[in-house]
Amino acid sequence: MIKILFVCLGNICRSTMAEAVMRHLINEQGLSARIVVDSAGTGNWHVGEAPHSGTRKRLAREGISTEGIFARQITKEDITEFDYIIGMDSDNLKNIRPYCKPEDMNKACLLADFVENNRWTDVPDPWYSGDFDETYRLVREGCEQLLARLQLS
């Protein structure tokens, strides 16, 4: 079983979007018995909240559900439990690193690290930009390519 954790700042916009998109892709390909997905935030401001309304609206346009997704904060146990700890931007990655033991440092990476011919590094935070379309485009591209790589291994 492969376990993936998407991480952003508050766990209501980008990481919840990535969790929902990846779950959708996994279900479409019949891989839910092989891959588990979750999300968390480095901050605790939104713990227990549903994804941001902009995230929910953008995903609804694609027929992607956010049912059962609620914000939570990353824990040290997550680093041990998950195989991939995927930050949405370099600040998230920097905030994840203190949770990692030396042997777990290679688990933490950026979503952009999985994108071939990468033209971007960070997924911009729509909490500040308001651009949920751009966030969706980058998250979708990253998740599709991540899933393709996982199926090759």
Catalytic residues: 8, 14, 125
Using alpha carbons only, what angle is made at residue 119 by residues 91 and 95, rounded to the nearest 5 degrees? 10
Token reading at 93: 């990655």
Beta strands in the chain (DSSP E): 2-8, 35-41, 84-87, 108-110
Dihedral sign (CA 138, 139, 142, 143): negative
- Closest to 40 in 3D by CA, of 96, 1, 97: 96
Asked whether the beta carbons of 74 and 54 are under 8 A apart, the reply is: no
As a whole number of angstroms, the distance between CA 144 and CA 21 comes to 9
